[in-house]
Structure 1
Amino acid sequence: MAQKATKTLAAANAKRLQQTLYATLIIHGIYWLLRAIVFRSTFTRRSLILYILFSTPQLFINFQFTRIGSPTYNADGSVKRSGEDLEAKGLTEYMWDVTYWTYGCILLAAVLGDWAWWLWGVMPVYSVYLAWTTYKGVRGGYTDAAGVPQPATTTSKRQAKMEKRGGQKMQYR
């Protein structure tokens, strides 16, 4: 079972990338199908510009996920590199949020019209909110949600006794 974690991550990444590709193709296909057939009279140059403007970040993120998350294999079929973890916290998680939110905006714009693209503006507002709360947390000494400062880590009884006796002594042989 050599490299079990690498194989597991490679399989999970390949599956997630394939699901994302299919979802992207289906959602963008639904948009074009509805706009070309059902709502042909409301599909204007403005609609096309809005679609390109607001779907490009999601398509770029999908390209990045494919680039960094795709596993590479040796000639014998063994995993050479599993790719980056697509379930990671932080920026990767935010990029998935952008992808899913864009999917929703595309579907709403396909059904309800161009005004639904305004919902895409929630993401930058959310980013500013996250940045502001992080800044306030760093500046304010990491308080909890109610604004109450968190106490410093308490020492155990054993550690307090050791410090009372003068700390931990190093023994040399």
Structure 2
Amino acid sequence: MVSSADWAIHDIHDKITAGNQKSIRILQLANAAFILLHVISNHFLGRRHFSFTALALTLPGLVCSLVLARWGKPVFSENGQVVSSGEDLSGEGGLIEHMWDIVYVTWMCLTMTGFFGGIMWWMFIIVPGFAIFKAASFAMPFLMPAAGRMRDAISSQPNTAEPGESKRQQKLKQRQQKGQPGKRHQQQQR
């Protein structure tokens, strides 16, 4: 007998499998479309070659596309059942999201360089720039301990207000903590 939890897990795997297949198909078509757009726009604008710079800077996006396609590819058994749905390519956070970002930046650079010239490859600096920013924000507390202690002190200050409380509710709560009854409480006592 199959429990409802097993059906829920099976349903989740089916959704991930369908989503991954769709994402991989879109990824492959979009890669081809953006490269073709770049080549066609270069041809019509008089730049008749796909430069080595363009090839070198397209490689990270293409490698990320291939890795995403491989990780997200579902595995089927001989009778057509899903053995493994692959990694969830729509997952937020982590390495998969960063790889999608590299793919998107590559597509944007391909489009912009196709129409505006090779100088637009400098937009690709966004990727290592973001990586440096994240690494610096991680390393800053270790490099400057005073800054880390100040951040910890600020974050550890007690916040008396609960989320969603209005200022009026906060004042009434403070009065009750001090032992001063609110107007309603005073009127009820009379």
User: Taking structure 2 as the reference length, what is the TM-score of the superposition?
Assistant: 0.69
Matches within 5 A, 1:60-99: 60-88=63-91, 89-99=93-103
For 2:34, the equivalent position in structure 1 comes to 27
Deviation for aligned residue 1:126: 1.2
Q: Which of the two has higher C-alpha Rg?
A: 2
For 1:132, the equivalent position in structure 2 comes to 136
User: Taking structure 1 as the reference length, what is the TM-score of the superposition?
Assistant: 0.76
Structure 1 residue 101 corresponds to structure 2 residue 105: yes
Q: Which stretch shifts more, 128-137 or 96-105?
A: 128-137
Quick one: distance in 2 between partners of 1:13 and 1:102? Answer: 21
In structure 2, stretches of 5+ residues that fail to align are 1-6, 160-190
Q: Secondary structure at the match of 2:86?
A: coil
Q: Which stretch shifts more, 108-117 or 69-78?
A: 69-78
Deviation for aligned residue 1:112: 0.4
Structure 2 residue corresponding to 1:56, chosen from 31, 34, 59: 59
Deviation for aligned residue 1:110: 0.2
For 1:167, the equivalent position in structure 2 comes to none
For 1:164, the equivalent position in structure 2 comes to none
Quick one: distance in 2 between partners of 1:55 and 1:69? Answer: 21
Quick one: distance in 2 between partners of 1:93 and 1:134? Answer: 19
Deviation for aligned residue 1:101: 0.8
Quick one: distance in 2 between partners of 1:76 and 1:153? Answer: 59
Deviation for aligned residue 1:152: 8.0
For 2:154, the equivalent position in structure 1 comes to 149
Quick one: distance in 2 between partners of 1:87 and 1:153? Answer: 37
Q: Secondary structure at the match of 2:23?
A: helix
Quick one: distance in 2 between partners of 1:99 and 1:142? Answer: 38
Q: Which has the higher contact order (CA 8 A, sep 6+)?
A: 1
In structure 1, stretches of 5+ residues that fail to align are 155-173
Quick one: distance in 2 between partners of 1:126 and 1:101? Answer: 12
Deviation for aligned residue 1:17: 1.0
Quick one: distance in 1 between partners of 2:62 and 2:141? Answer: 33
Q: Which structure 1 residue ranges, 4+ long, deviate > 4 Å from structure 2?
A: none
Residue identity in the other structure for 1:11: A
